[in-house]
């Protein structure tokens, strides 16, 4: 790994003197979340029974998918210096719609559910981009109303027996569960959007300095709107996958507090809440880290009180590793 340290791009003009071979704080900053992830994995390998098995690994990957997919959408929104609190409610709404439309076929039901997420995202995007409402409050309103709507649609908890949905939730492709495949595809697409697309570059620019982006002629409202729609679509997709996996939809409980987990994953991954940057790989690692923390606490049957305190400490420590040395000054 220290190989990578040394091979940072050097400035062309004046080759630097080789620096002392100490771990570069900047490197830690950029890779803190991976360090923490590897550390926690190592600890588990050492102390947790039955941890080293592909079943365990697969389980973590499966369980992380909903949060991860939500977090990827959230990372985009945070990149614009926004935030989306409505993702949990959108998940619930999507899950609630599945049983209602499953009669028309699996595909139709999924399409309608995911579209509903897009509509909710469009509402959030309109409020933020066109009307200028602060994102946190716009999406908070949608979160409250959205869960109400989900409950109205969904009513009581419903079991989902549709074979298509069941297969989606528990089947696998060449040994990799469908949900994991889908999450991987979503991650790849998001990465591509951020790194390679016009949209991604504009998104980051808006997050970095909105006024400058406007004066630069960027279609600010359109980019913001698209971002919130994407986030809504992804949240809805997460809701669908969760419903497929649990073969049920419970509008009151699905996606509860997922917004906080998603935001934490994004921030752990090195995307600043102040916008202007999106780190997809970091977000994935952040979500995995959160998942592994939860799993570790369950594996060792830690009571809820201690588990919450431990989680608090680990999260702060992980972010500290990430940002610790950086002075808060520009």
Least Å from the CB of residue 23 to another protein = 15
Stretches 69-77, 182-190, 191-199, 228-236: which one binds another protein (CB under 8 A)?
A: 191-199
Q: Is 92 in contact with 150 (CB distance < 8 Å)?
A: yes
Stretches 28-36, 102-110, 131-139, 230-238: which one binds another protein (CB under 8 A)?
A: 131-139
The answer to the question of residue 303 lying near another protein (CB under 8 A) is yes
Q: Is 119 in contact with 65 (CB distance < 8 Å)?
A: no
The answer to the question of residue 9 lying near another protein (CB under 8 A) is yes
Q: Is 236 exposed, middle or buried (0-12, 13-18, 19+ CB in 10 A)?
A: buried
Q: Whole-angstrom Cα distance, residue 117 to residue 135?
A: 17
Cα-flanking dihedrals φ and ψ of residue 176, to 5°? -100, 125
| Among the listed residues 59, 119, 181, 184, the single contact to another protein using CB under 8 A | 59
Least Å from the CB of residue 186 to another protein = 18
Least Å from the CB of residue 141 to another protein = 4
Per the listing, tokens 């909903």 go with 66
Binding positions for another protein, 203-222, rule CB under 8 A: 204-205, 208-209, 211-219
Binding positions for another protein, 86-125, rule CB under 8 A: none
Distance between start and end Cα atoms, the chain: 29
Stretches 69-77, 108-116, 229-237, 239-247: which one binds another protein (CB under 8 A)?
A: 239-247
Q: Whole-angstrom Cα distance, residue 142 to residue 126?
A: 12
The answer to the question of residue 189 lying near another protein (CB under 8 A) is no
| 210 Cβ contact list (under 8 Å, min separation 6) | 81, 220
| Among the listed residues 3, 55, 174, 175, the single contact to another protein using CB under 8 A | 55
The answer to the question of residue 171 lying near another protein (CB under 8 A) is no
Nearer to another protein, 96 or 186 (CB): 96
Binding positions for another protein, 240-259, rule CB under 8 A: 242, 245-248, 250-254, 256
Q: Whole-angstrom Cα distance, residue 239 to residue 165?
A: 12
Nearer to another protein, 43 or 108 (CB): 43
Q: Is 255 in contact with 87 (CB distance < 8 Å)?
A: yes
Does an H or E element contain 157, and which? none
Nearer to another protein, 69 or 142 (CB): 142
Kindly state the number of chain residues that form the binding site for another protein, as judged by CB under 8 A: 108
Does an H or E element contain 158, and which? strand 158-159
Q: Is 175 in contact with 62 (CB distance < 8 Å)?
A: no
The answer to the question of residue 188 lying near another protein (CB under 8 A) is no
| Among the listed residues 12, 20, 21, 22, the single contact to another protein using CB under 8 A | 12
| Among the listed residues 68, 77, 143, 233, the single contact to another protein using CB under 8 A | 143
Least Å from the CB of residue 292 to another protein = 11
Which 3 state secondary structure label does DSSP give 248?
Answer: strand
């Amino acid at each position: 790994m220290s190989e990578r340290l040394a091979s940072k791009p050097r400035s062309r003009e004046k080759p630097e003197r080789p620096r002392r071979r100490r771990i570069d704080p900047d490197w830690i900053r950029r890779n803190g979340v991976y360090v923490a992830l590897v550390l926690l994995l190592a600890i588990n390998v050492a102390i947790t029974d039955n941890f080293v098995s592909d079943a365990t690994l697969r389980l973590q990957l499966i369980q992380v998918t909903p949060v991860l997919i939500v977090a990827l959408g959230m990372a985009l929104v945070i990149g614009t210096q926004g935030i989306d609190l409505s993702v949990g409610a959108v998940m619930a709404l999507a899950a609630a719609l599945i049983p209602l439309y499953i009669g028309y076929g699996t595909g139709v039901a999924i399409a309608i559910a995911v579209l509903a997420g897009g509509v909710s995202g469009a509402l959030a995007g309109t409020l933020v981009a066109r009307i200028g409402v602060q994102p946190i409050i716009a999406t908070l309103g949608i979160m409250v109303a959205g869960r109400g709507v989900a409950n109205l649609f969904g009513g009581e908890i419903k079991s989902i027996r549709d074979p298509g949905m069941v297969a989606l939730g528990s089947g696998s492709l060449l040994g990799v569960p469908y949900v994991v495949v889908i999450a991987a595809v979503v991650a790849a697409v998001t990465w591509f959007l951020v790194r390679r697309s016009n949209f991604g570059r504009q998104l980051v620019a808006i997050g970095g300095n909105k006024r400058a982006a406007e004066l630069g002629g960027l279609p600010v409202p359109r980019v913001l709107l698209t971002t919130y729609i994407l986030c809504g679509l992804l949240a809805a997709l997460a809701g669908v996958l969760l419903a497929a996996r649990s073969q049920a939809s419970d509008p009151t409980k699905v996606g509860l507090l997922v917004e906080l987990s998603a935001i934490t994953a994004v921030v752990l991954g090195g995307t600043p809440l102040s916008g202007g940057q999106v780190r997809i790989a970091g977000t994935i690692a952040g979500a995995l880290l959160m998942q592994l923390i939860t799993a570790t606490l369950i594996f060792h049957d830690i009571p809820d009180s201690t588990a919450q305190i431990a989680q608090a400490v680990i999260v702060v420590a992980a972010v500290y590793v990430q940002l610790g040395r950086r002075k808060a000054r520009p």
